[in-house]
Amino acid sequence: MKIAICPGSFDPVTNGHLDVIKRASKLFDKVIVVVMENIKKKNQSSFTLEERMDFINRCTKDLDNVETDSYVGLLADYAKMKEATAIVKGLRAVSDFEDEFQQALTNIKLNPDVETVFITASSEYMYLSSSVVKQVCGYGGNVSDFVPNEILRDVENRLKR
């Protein structure tokens, strides 16, 4: 069985993330979406790990081969523990590339059994990130095209000032 991991902070999950998760679910037997604490963004999260996992569960309930988890630690160790063969990342633009390239090389150094696979962002979501959702919603803008319907109200309740 080919297992892939989709890691991220998902603070909160966006339509761009969901698009990558759906496309990954067609390529692998099982996809584990793992919510991780980003050391660079620590203590800056708007949602707890549990809330972020719950959001992803609600948006992926129709995808039979997708499950959700959370992990604090090295992704390379998590991949080993889950016997995953791939780490799937979404690439939006050249600006994502340098950091993703560095992470991919680090992860294969730490765990030679796991390949990083990049899925290019769909054109309609190229601009979209969790930070954009926070900024737009924080100033009262409409984010209904940015986050899945299943979580829209919860996201607005937390982020609207």
- Give me the active site residues, please: 17, 41, 92, 130
- Smallest CA-to-CA distance from 160 within 136, 140, 144, 146 is with 140
Separation CA 98–CA 103 (nearest Å): 9
Region of 10-18, 24-32, 78-86, 153-161 interacting with ligand ADP (CB under 6 A): 10-18
Least distance (Å) between residue 89 CB and ligand ADP: 3
Report the residue from 8, 33, 45, 159 that binds ligand ADP according to the rule CB under 6 A.
Answer: 8
Number of H helices, E strands in the chain: 6, 5
Separation CA 55–CA 48 (nearest Å): 11
Considering only residues 94-153, where is the footprint of ligand ADP by CB under 6 A? Answer: 96, 121, 125, 128-130
Report the residue from 10, 55, 78, 146 that binds ligand ADP according to the rule CB under 6 A.
Answer: 10
Residue that is written with structure tokens 């926070």 in the block: 134
Smaller CB separation from ligand ADP, 1 or 76? 76
Region of 53-61, 66-74, 85-93, 153-161 interacting with ligand ADP (CB under 6 A): 85-93
Where are the alpha helices (H) located in 60-148, listed in sequence order? 75-82, 94-110, 130-138
Q: With contacts defined by CB under 6 A, how many residues of the chain interact with ligand ADP?
A: 16
Smaller CB separation from ligand ADP, 85 or 122? 122
79, 90 contact by CB (below 8 A)? no
Considering only residues 20-39, where is the footprint of ligand ADP by CB under 6 A? Answer: 20
- Smallest CA-to-CA distance from 133 within 159, 157, 153, 154 is with 159
Q: For the residues of 25-69, what is the DSSP string, one character each?
A: HHHSSEEEEEEE--GGGTT--SS-HHHHHHHHHHHSTT-TTEEEE
Report the residue from 4, 9, 24, 45 that binds ligand ADP according to the rule CB under 6 A.
Answer: 9
Residues at the contact surface with ligand ADP, assessed by CB under 6 A: 8-10, 14, 16-17, 20, 89-90, 92, 96, 121, 125, 128-130
